[in-house]
């Protein structure tokens, strides 16, 4: 309030030359600090530590690979197949069913039934392969 202000020019008078505003902070030696001790010119969030960036990058890569493998994208005959989720992994939503003791038992019974249906004791595909162990032959003269 103690500063002196120039009076605005009265209409019709020659306008007073504009004073060039100083927009840049004068270069000071040392780091200016506020009363709180914070450096306002160099906020900490502007330059994150490279270590954190690497961690975030690794996490993103791990998530992407995990999702890719998790949902089981497999290529077969040139086509990408995304199988439907295994019935074993599908459980009733906890939002629609109250989490009581009965619900837990119900889940166990439902899961047991699914396991019973899924167990294939034939496993024909994994029977030992039929290999010809003796391939020797003789040429009769």
Partner 1 sequence: MRKITALIIAFLVLFISQASFVWAQKEIEDYFFQYEKYRNVYNDFVTAKEAYLKYQTLTSKDEAIETTQKLIDQRYQALRTYFLALKSKLRTAPGVVGADYREQLISQLDKEINWLENQKGEVNGLSKPSLDDLFVISDRFEDKSEEIKSLSYQSLSAFLLGKVRSLYSDSVVITDFLKDEVFDLEVTQAAQMTDWLKEVENKNYLSQKEIELAEANLELLKKKKRENQMVPIYHDLKVNLNNSKQYLSQAYQFQQEIFNILNKIKNTDNSVESLEEENGSGL
- Per CB under 8 A, residues contacting partner 1 are 52, 55-56, 58-59, 62-63, 65-66, 69-70, 72, 74, 92, 98, 100, 102-106, 108-113, 115-116, 119, 121-123, 125-129, 131-137, 139-140
Shortest spacing between CB 37 and partner 1, in angstroms: 23
Distance (Å, whole) CA 41 – CA 31 = 9
Contacts of 114 (CB under 8 A, 6+ apart): 87, 88
Shortest spacing between CB 79 and partner 1, in angstroms: 14
Tokens of 117: 């249906």
Distance (Å, whole) CA 34 – CA 45 = 17
Which residue number, 20 or 140, has a Cβ lying nearer to partner 1?
Answer: 140
Which residue number, 10 or 131, has a Cβ lying nearer to partner 1?
Answer: 131
Tell which residue, 52, 50, 32, 53, has the closest CA to residue 42: 32
Shortest spacing between CB 49 and partner 1, in angstroms: 10
Burial letters 88-100, b for 16+ CB under 10 A, else e: eeeeeeeeeeeee
Shortest spacing between CB 81 and partner 1, in angstroms: 11
Distance (Å, whole) CA 5 – CA 3 = 6
Which residue number, 40 or 99, has a Cβ lying nearer to partner 1?
Answer: 99
Which residue number, 16 or 53, has a Cβ lying nearer to partner 1?
Answer: 53
């Amino acid at each position: 309030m103690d500063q002196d202000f120039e009076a605005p020019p009265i209409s019709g008078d020659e306008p007073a030359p504009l004073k060039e505003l100083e927009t840049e902070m004068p270069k000071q030696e040392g780091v200016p600090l506020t009363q709180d001790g914070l450096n306002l010119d160099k906020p900490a969030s502007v330059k994150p530590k490279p270590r954190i960036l690497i961690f975030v990058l690794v996490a993103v890569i791990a998530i992407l690979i995990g999702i890719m493998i998790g949902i089981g994208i497999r290529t077969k005959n040139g086509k990408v197949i995304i199988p439907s989720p295994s019935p074993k992994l599908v459980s009733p939503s906890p939002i629609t069913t109250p989490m009581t003791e009965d619900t837990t038992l119900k889940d166990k019974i439902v899961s047991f039934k699914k396991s019973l249906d899924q167990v294939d004791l034939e496993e024909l595909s994994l029977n030992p392969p039929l290999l010809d162990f003796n391939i020797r032959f003789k040429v009769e003269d």
